Amino acid sequence: MVERRSLGMAVLLALLAVALPLVLSSCAGGDDGPTELQLSGPSDFRGVRQLPPIALPDVTLIDTDGKRYPLRERAAGKVTLLYLGYTHCPDVCPTHMAQIAHALREVSPETAAQVLVVFITTDPERDTSAVLRDWLDRFDSSFVGLTGTQKQLDGVQTSLNANPASKTDLGGGHYSVDHLAYVIAFTPERQDARLVYPADMSWEDYAADLRTMIEKGKRP
């Protein structure tokens, strides 16, 4: 009995060792918020299970054309990959965008057309509409860039169960931004998210899950 209990504890600790880095990962050391991971059970998806599900924020922000963008309305009927970051980010932000862009080039055009990629800035001071558009075009011109007031952006992050982004002074007038560091995948019909994608997810992971959700019609 003691050996069996010890073995069970060893397995649990091994699973936690894998899961905890996903929970704690963030750009510049920020807090990812209360994401919980499903540690067992079969899954058709490569993304990390989000429990409880997160609702797509019901917010209207400003896009890179300077126009109002009602997020839930524009996302209706599409698999929406939402990320909050900033264009001066040195690592996880461009990594996520590059992996998603690669995945969309690998899936069929019909599948890619049913995916909406939305990047909401956490650095509105520097990320003007023009800056956002130029940066996103380096990855895919279809990516939507959104900004808003600081109050709006903080509210979006809070609605996603995340702490609002904060600045870290780097000296010389420079700063980094601590922010949520994973992509959140929302379903077309319910517009809720049961999967998130940390920075170590590859384009193959994104492509596999997009095919499962769109071509096979399965939902997390």
Tens of pLDDT, residue by residue over 66-103, are: 999 999 999 999 999 999 999 999 999 999 999 999 99
| CA dist list (Å): 155 to 61, 64, 148 | 11, 20, 11
The pLDDT mean for the chain works out to 85
Which sequence spans correspond to the domains of the chain? 2-215
% residues pLDDT > 90 (the chain): 73
Q: Which CATH class is domain 2-215?
A: alpha beta
Per-residue pLDDT of 32-73, as tens digits, reads 444 444 433 457 999 999 989 999 999 999 999 999 999 999
Report pTM: 0.82
As a whole number, mean pLDDT of residues 149-164 equals 95
